[in-house]
Amino acid sequence: MGHGTREGESYLEPYRQAASRHGDRFGSLLWASPKTQSARFDAICRLAGLAGRRVLDAGCGRADLMDFLRERGVEPAEYIGIEAVDELVAAAMQKNLPKAQIIHGDFVRDPQRLEVGADVVVFSGSLNTLGPDQFRISLKDGWEAAGEVMVFNFLAAAHIASADWLSWHRAELFERGQDAGGLSGWGLYHRRVEERPDSEKN
């Protein structure tokens, strides 16, 4: 993945406009429905075991992933959420979730925010407004920040990226293929122990 040039903040505008209408309610997340959000979270749990791991949720919205994990009795060692939209980060912070830290920041503009020592880095829905170059840059940044695993989803069909602010990408470019519905692409990358810097090895 090449470095390229980082985008301005146009990728946040759809969320900010939604938040201006919906505040911290579900509509500001730009998910099609709670059902589709839950399906993506379920797939993340199946692809990358989160129990007992330090999890970074990049573009966490209201930290709904942590709510999902708690409802199912999955307990990460720590949950760290990064969110740039004011209304959403405020909603996440107000939950006062146990073993959770919410960071108000933009992982696209400031990728150092991803460097929190996470075992697992998750991008769920948070790449959908990025153009192709920035999509790859953010994946590279996420992979460099992941101690063990990076898991991400993305739009994998043109007809579900019909809004001018959405981007889609071919699923065959990544190690995991499409889900059963053929609309969401998935990427799952595991880091071998020998890939870690010497300072991180036991």
pLDDT digits (tens, 9 = 90+) for 147-202: 999 998 876 555 554 566 556 455 555 554 334 334 356 677 776 544 444 444 43
8 Å CB contact between 129 and 164: no
Average pLDDT of the chain is 80
Q: How many Cα atoms within 13 Å fall on the side-chain side of residue 108? A: 24
CA 41 to CA 72: how far, in whole Å? 11
- Looking at per-residue pLDDT, the higher value among 30 and 18 belongs to 18
In angstroms, the CA 93 to CA 110 distance is 20
Residue 114 banded pLDDT, cuts 50, 70, 90 = very high
Q: What's the rounded Cα separation, in Å, for the pair 15 and 17?
A: 5
Residue ranges of domains in the chain: 9-200
- 39 sits in which H/E element: helix 34-47
**In the predicted model, what is the mean pLDDT of residues 80-91?**
95
Contacts of 104 (CB under 8 A, 6+ apart): 83, 84, 86, 89
pTM: 0.80
Question: Is residue 85 helix, strand or coil?
Answer: coil
More confident: 195 or 72: 72
The answer, yes or no, to whether residue 101 has pLDDT greater than 90, is yes
**Per-residue tokens: 96:** 């006062």
Compare 65 and 9 and report the one with higher pLDDT. Answer: 65
Sheet with 78-83: strands ordered across? 100-104, 78-83, 54-58, 120-123, 149-155, 184-190
Contact (CB, 8 A) for 157 and 168: yes
Q: How many other CB atoms are there within 10 angstroms of residue 161's CB atom?
A: 18
29 — pLDDT class (breaks 50, 70, 90): confident
Contact between residue 165 and residue 38 where contact means Cβ atoms under 8 Å apart: no
What integer pLDDT is reported at residue 9 of this predicted model? 74
Mean pLDDT score, 137-147: 94
Calculate mean pLDDT across residues 49-54: 95
CATH fold group of domain 9-200: Rossmann fold (3.40.50)
